[in-house]
Structure 1
Amino acid sequence: MKEVLIDAVTLAGWQAEGRDIVVLDARARLQDTAAGRALWQAGHVPGARHADMDRELSAPPSAEGGRHPLPGHERFAARLRAWGITPQRDVVVYDDMGGALAAARAWWMLVWAGHPSVHVLDGGWPAWCDGGHDVESASPEPSPSDWQPTFNDDLIATTEDVARGDAVLLDARPGERFRGENEPIDPAAGHIPGARSIPADSLVDARARFLSPDELAQALPQDETTISYCGSGISACQIILACAVLGRPLPRLYPGSWSAWSSDPSRPVATGA
């Protein structure tokens, strides 16, 4: 896999030299479905298309699929074509969520679709603005592509896969939600039995930049078979992205995550550390 993280100086340099790239603005607010697009309209990296978490990076919620199910293959493929994405064009994704939560979800979905060169802007939108780089508010009109992605569903874990208990489960939610001390959204408080707590925000520093490879290696268990989950399959992608930064095999994503698991009261729930 090519370099995953790039910094704002690199992205600005690529744009200045006319490199053929697609930039996706994945900013979102999980409690306000209209906020992400409003942020993009107010200002974005020049040429960036908006990647809407609820309308384009997710299907409608369901009990089994959770709060942010993956869209179907053809629906997402059509969106990739509308954005003008092809395997020959580098893609750069960013957000402003204190790490790369929504951006990591978009990155993972492009990897799932078989794109060979997807990057995440380390530090996201704040890093771009802090660097004094150009900002625009115009809405780009990309020329659609004819790409026919080949999706790798082996990157996905189902509820049945999780229930078998033969993989190491990595829970990306904040520690208090993992321990069951606070559950503001989902039906039950706690975690899937046997899971390990690796909060997504523990993988980045105070400036929302990823920790050094040595620090990431210490934070992440090195197991052959891992599944990453969170509340609804978004912040779990930050764990997967961190593994990609290290060049490790990617954990599978459990898209339904805790929102799907906890929707069935017959499924076991653990609390505490």
Structure 2
Amino acid sequence: MHTKLIDAVTLSRHLEDPNWVILDCRHDLMNPNAGLDSFAIGHIAGAQFANVDTDLSGAKIGADGKFQGRHPLPGRAAFIETLRGWGISDDTQVVAYDAHGGMFAARLWWLLRWVGHPAVAVLDGGLVAWQAAGLPMVTHAERRTPGSIGERASLVSTVNADEVLANLESQERTVVDARAADRYRGENETIDPVGGHIPGAKNRFFKDNLTPEGRFKDAAQLKADFAPLFADPAKAIMQCGSGVTACHNLLALEVAGLPGAALYPGSWSEWVGDTTRPVATGAQP
């Protein structure tokens, strides 16, 4: 069972394995059609396309009428049906990839763990590593026989906006923001019309988890990188712009042997949807 990362050569040996499902998670936050367009041009044989906006996210407005962020979690039952449609069962090995260092694939990795499925890994280095290894691409899409995955106990934890707000007073947990430094400081209005960060949050840009080649750093280096941010991952909360790239930090923590951090799914986009919530700007404290 692969539960964190998998390399391109190992994946290539399982392209014909009926018990393996490969999902292409390519996406562009500024161009919603870019992922599917790229998939049509070429993808790993047997891969199916997972749409970040629709398959891996839910309705932006909740049942209570409140804004839940740009990429709120999908309904659990609906997500289970999506997984079944991709041919995933309880014993299926799932591999997710993208072309962005795992930026979007990590969201699918986390969601599968959210519904209790441990056999999911991210292709280390993504499509870049696949092509660098001289491995083939195809243009035809395939459909799988529906799977039978069932919902099991979650392997991850989450917090909501109220809990993050209460933490501003208690300071029991450390909030870590996965966005780029300019967004964290409040200097990128193109992506974040309301700029800044949750007061007290620390900044750990998700791309800092990667080597210059776009692969995850080794466990020892990641552990050293996260050490200045918090002492106990079980008392850490990962967030970002909309709950997507925060999952990259969560995967990096697992690779580092530091499990237990929670995800704030709504993240910054939900946080600033309520103007009564406080906002900080500037450099990391």
Q: Give your verdict on TM over 0.5.
A: yes
| Shift in alpha-carbon separation, 1:151–1:3, aligned structure 2, 3 A | closer
- Whether contact under 8 Å (1:65, 1:260) holds in the other structure is yes
Residue from 156, 160, 163 that aligns with 1:161: 163
Q: Which residue of 2 aligns with 1:132?
A: 134
Q: Displacement of 1:195 after TM fit?
A: 0.6
3-state DSSP class of the match of 2:217?
A: coil
Distance, in Å, in 2 between the alignment partners of 1:50 and 1:144 is: 15
- Whether contact under 8 Å (1:24, 1:51) holds in the other structure is yes
Distance, in Å, in 2 between the alignment partners of 1:77 and 1:30 is: 24
Q: Which residue of 2 aligns with 1:58?
A: 57
What is the TM-score when the length of structure 1 is the normalising length? 0.94
Distance, in Å, in 1 between the alignment partners of 2:153 and 2:193 is: 32
CA deviation map 1:13-62 (0-9, x unaligned): 2336x362100100011111111111111111110010000110011324
- Whether contact under 8 Å (1:187, 1:263) holds in the other structure is no
What residue ranges of structure 1 are gaps of 5+ in the alignment?
Answer: none
Distance, in Å, in 2 between the alignment partners of 1:19 and 1:153 is: 25
Aligned CA RMSD, in angstroms, stands at 1.7
Q: Which residue of 2 aligns with 1:230?
A: 240
What is the TM-score when the length of structure 2 is the normalising length? 0.90
Which amino acid in 2 is paired with 1:202? D
After superposition, where does 1:91-170 map in structure 2 within 5 Å?
91-97=94-100, 99-150=101-152, 152=154, 155-165=157-167, 166-170=172-176
Q: Which residue of 1 aligns with 2:91?
A: 88
CA deviation map 1:140-184 (0-9, x unaligned): 110001222125296111001111213210100001111122232
Q: Which residue of 2 aligns with 1:252?
A: 262
- Whether contact under 8 Å (1:187, 1:259) holds in the other structure is no
What residue ranges of structure 2 are gaps of 5+ in the alignment?
Answer: none
- Whether contact under 8 Å (2:3, 2:118) holds in the other structure is no
Distance, in Å, in 2 between the alignment partners of 1:186 and 1:246 is: 30
CA deviation map 1:100-140 (0-9, x unaligned): 11100010000101112111000001111111112111111
- Whether contact under 8 Å (1:187, 1:262) holds in the other structure is no
Q: Which residue of 1 aligns with 2:12?
A: 12
1:77 aligns with 2:80: yes
Number of positions where the alignment pairs a residue of Structure 1 with one of Structure 2? 271
Which amino acid in 1 is paired with 2:96? V
Percent sequence identity is 41
| Shift in alpha-carbon separation, 1:43–1:113, aligned structure 2, 3 A | same
| Shift in alpha-carbon separation, 1:154–1:119, aligned structure 2, 3 A | closer
